[in-house]
Amino acid sequence: MVALSGGTDSAYLAWVAQQALGDRALAVTAVSPSLPERERDEVEQFVQQFGIAHEFIRTEELTNPLYVANHPDRCYHCKDELFDKLGALARERGIAAVAYGVNVDDQGDFRPGQQAAREHRILTPLLDAGLTKAEIRQLSRRAGLPTWDKPAAACLASRLAPGIEVTDENLKKIERGEEALRKLGFRQVRVRYHDELVRIEIAPEELPRALSPAMARRFTEIFKALGFRFVTLDLEGYRQGSFNPQR
């Protein structure tokens, strides 16, 4: 069983599992308020295109106060819920193991979810093979997977500043904001939620287009309509894990 989030790494792992195991491989995607609707649609398209056996399951991390509190270990509680549900499904189906798409580059970042994976004995084939993100992208491109150059897409809860509760309402505001930015033509974006203030991250190579009075007005219109009092553009641009402790 492969935990398929729809990102480059898990998509490649699901495809490889199918190549190696055929109908003995099953990809599973967890659905919760932290998964954008766009991501769910793209997962459906991907598995249909490549004939990958796949199921959606529901996870209930929002019922866990330790997750909702959004402390730095939030990701641990999310992954603990995910792997608990995947493990139960694997046992029910007689599936021998569960794997997920962590890679070598992920080892240098703050990722408490990896602790949950170790506790649940989740397999890490891409990491074991010593593959970096760039290599996985290259292999995905060679395999003809449309996810080879997909921008990084962490869960919506990762956009909330530590201490701001993870709620369905807050997640929807983030999802709507990011979708509005994509409709403006920006590809790699993050909406960082700081209570009354929103901090917009856009990929450095896309920043010049964002730095205009006209675009500033559009950002202001979009995010004030979503309920933010202050609208800001992060001049460092998009980077992964900008809420992580070491940053």
pLDDT of residue 112: 85
Asked if the model's pLDDT at residue 87 lies above 70, the reply is yes
Average pLDDT over residues 204-221: 97
pLDDT of residue 44: 97
Lookup: tokens for 28 = 């599973």
Q: Residue 65: give the domain boundaries.
A: 2-149
Same domain? 9 vs 118: yes
Same domain? 161 vs 129: no
- Nearest by Cα to 11 from 45, 57, 61: 45
Contacts of 207 (CB under 8 A, 6+ apart): 235, 237
Give the span between the Cα atoms of 192 and 41, in whole angstroms.
Answer: 23
Can you give the pTM of this predicted structure? Answer: 0.90
By residue count, the chain amounts to 247
CB atoms within 10 A of CB 62: 19
Task: Write the DSSP assignment of 148-196 as a string of letters.
Answer: GGPPP---GGGGBPTTS---HHHHHHHHHHHHHHHHTT-SSEEEEEETT
Domain boundary among 92, 116, 149: 149
Same domain? 74 vs 162: no
Average pLDDT over residues 69-80: 95
Same domain? 126 vs 208: no
Average pLDDT over residues 117-125: 96
- How confident is the model over 135-184, as pLDDT tens digits? 999 999 999 999 999 988 889 999 999 999 999 999 999 999 999 999 99
Give the span between the Cα atoms of 65 and 62, in whole angstroms.
Answer: 7
Same domain? 61 vs 76: yes
Domain boundary among 95, 129, 149: 149
What's the chain's average pLDDT?
95
Give the span between the Cα atoms of 178 and 3, in whole angstroms.
Answer: 24
Give the span between the Cα atoms of 42 and 89, in whole angstroms.
Answer: 23
Q: Which residue has the tokens 């998509």?
A: 11
Percent pLDDT > 70 in the chain is 97
In a domain, 88, yes or no: yes
The count of structural domains within the chain is 2
pLDDT band, very low/low/confident/very high, at 109 (cuts 50, 70, 90): low
- How confident is the model over 39-71, as pLDDT tens digits? 999 999 999 999 999 999 999 999 999 999 999
Same domain? 48 vs 82: yes
Same domain? 18 vs 65: yes
Give the span between the Cα atoms of 17 and 195, in whole angstroms.
Answer: 42
Same domain? 139 vs 162: no
Give the span between the Cα atoms of 100 and 123, in whole angstroms.
Answer: 6
Same domain? 34 vs 6: yes
Q: Which CATH number covers residue 225?
A: 3.30.70
Same domain? 200 vs 92: no
**C-alpha dist (Å) from residue 245 to 71, 198, 210, 225:** 11, 19, 28, 31
